[in-house]
Amino acid sequence: MIDRRTLLAYGAMLPLVGSDSSAARAAEQEAGDQEKADYTLRIATGLAELAPDHIVSTTLYNNQFPGPLLRFKEGQRTVVDVYNDTDTPELVHWHGQMIPTEVDGAAEEGTPYIPPHGMRRIAFVPKPAGFRFYHTHVVAGGDLNRGTYTGQVGPVYIEPKNEPGAYDREVFLVLKEFEPSFSRGGDMAMDFLAGEPIKELKELGKKSDDEAQEKTKGYEVGYDLFSINGKMLGHGEPIRVKQGERVLFHVLNGSAGEIGSLALPGHVFKVVALDGNPVTTPRDVPVLWLGTAERISAIVEMDHPGVWILGDLADDDRKRGMGIVVEYAGAKGKPQWTKPKPYKWDYALFGKPGGAPANPDETMEFTIVKHNAALNGFNQWTLNGKAFSMETMKPMYMVHEGRRYRLKFRNASDDIHPLHLHRHSFELVRVGSKPTAGVLKDVVMLGGFQEVEFDFVADNPGLTLFHCHQQLHMDFGFMALFDYV
């Protein structure tokens, strides 16, 4: 067991730049040697058996994929010991929680690294209630054995003080690809998001393409193997259900950069929460779409007996493993798949009908531009003409505590960007050119050549990181740091 002095020494290896460090440090120090951790996470290289003939070596939490489901209680302080058995510094980010910078798990915010072959004890008060997750937050750059390309992903469920519970059973699903490799010009699904491309943004994108020194596009990352809960479709246990059962699925897209989709032939999903936050208008939808790091909680009423594939709409991805079998009691035969009709994913559907968000105190605008192959063959990303510097990690945007900020993002690229804000949630204000209100999220997909607007209230002082959740984008400029005045 590591002693307090060693622990503090590790903490001192890196400068603490968070402005709200004292409270968190006090919490950490309270978690003395005598106290037993509520959870222990051990980061180490291990094997994930996706199928008998597909065993991959990667970095895992507690030698399993996904990492263990951590159940916290809202408002009840939790102590987690994190051991790093690898040769490189690590960070565990508690995605979707409103916790101090010391424990949030982002170096840009000043969270200390967990040193190689060292450990760090962290303590925080989990909030808000709902479906969250944890994942590594280190830079991968061109190293596909680092960052979220590895198996460092696990679900978190923060139990609310009052659980509504209009379901019979919960099932957690983590979507994840393995065996990444670089390619040129890989394409992902593009036409599923509601809204239309904006002409002015297309022109801006074309201008950037014309100005680029490199005439080819930069590297993209593709994957050989796909899995749900660490098993390729057809391997692992099916989800066994009974007719009439209401199953609450908590789906997490744990990818490093892919967009995922799910359909279950003959069934609909009643979406009850997005990113763990209950929606104002639960709706039945035939298909779920999840950008990187998004979560959807949806109830499926099991009213269509048979043996079915709950799978990704992309035939390639499903055939390489992105699916899981749903088997009704007493049903037999080969799992069936039918492709659903095309369906536009529209966040506004789950908002408050006719609702309007509160007026912002301030508005900030961000234009996102891609610079083809500008960084040794990798695309570089700029926000308002600036790529985030990992050297200086300088906060570019200042906020005042208590104020409401409207952020408007204009995407001058053809890529879909899952935009993520740390330590705060935000309310969607306009998406796919449609006004909306009441949808609270921490990741939102911004369509190619589209705009999105969301509001956040500056209610959690300290450095606050904003970035695209595509590892390949965030590592090459697509980040910004907010600080409180």
The answer to the question of residue 148 lying near Cu ion (CB under 5 A) is: no
Identify the residue whose tokens are 């009840």: 76
- The two beta strands, 54-61 and 464-468, are unpaired
What residue type is 338 in one-letter code? T
Q: Applying CB under 5 A, which part among 101-109, 174-182, 307-315, 473-481 lies near Cu ion?
A: 473-481
Q: How many CB atoms lie under 10 A from the CB of residue 452?
A: 24
- Token couple for 116: 């190689």
- The two beta strands, 219-228 and 260-262, are unpaired
The answer to the question of residue 419 lying near Cu ion (CB under 5 A) is: no
Q: Applying CB under 5 A, which part among 80-88, 103-111, 369-377, 461-469 lies near Cu ion?
A: 461-469
- Minimum distance, C-beta of residue 436 to Cu ion, in the bound complex (Å): 22
Cβ closest to Cu ion, residue 132 vs residue 473: 473
- Token couple for 43: 């980061």
Site string for Cu ion, 46-65 (x = CB under 5 A): --------------------
For residue 6, the SS3 value is helix
CA dihedral (368, 373, 375, 379) positive or negative: positive
- Token couple for 276: 């763990």
- The two beta strands, 362-375 and 404-411, are parallel
Cβ closest to Cu ion, residue 271 vs residue 472: 472
State the DSSP H helix or E strand holding residue 200, giving kind and residue range, or none if neither: helix 199-211
The answer to the question of residue 468 lying near Cu ion (CB under 5 A) is: yes
Question: For residue 203, which phi and psi values (nearest 5 degrees)?
Answer: -65, -40
State the DSSP H helix or E strand holding residue 29, giving kind and residue range, or none if neither: helix 21-30
Distance, in Å, from the CA atom of 388 to the CA atom of 392, rounded to the nearest integer, reads: 9
Cβ closest to Cu ion, residue 11 vs residue 448: 448
Cβ closest to Cu ion, residue 318 vs residue 473: 473
The answer to the question of residue 369 lying near Cu ion (CB under 5 A) is: no
Q: Applying CB under 5 A, which part among 109-117, 166-174, 187-195, 466-474 lies near Cu ion?
A: 466-474
Nearest one of 130, 70, 120 to 92, comparing CA atoms: 120
| Residue selected from 250, 410, 417, 424 as contacting Cu ion according to rule CB under 5 A | 417
Cβ closest to Cu ion, residue 406 vs residue 473: 473
Cβ closest to Cu ion, residue 31 vs residue 443: 443
- Minimum distance, C-beta of residue 367 to Cu ion, in the bound complex (Å): 14
The answer to the question of residue 129 lying near Cu ion (CB under 5 A) is: no
The answer to the question of residue 420 lying near Cu ion (CB under 5 A) is: no
Count of residues of this chain found to bind Cu ion when the rule CB under 5 A is applied: 4
The answer to the question of residue 473 lying near Cu ion (CB under 5 A) is: yes
Instruction: Give the footprint of Cu ion on this chain (CB under 5 A).
Output: 417, 468, 470, 473
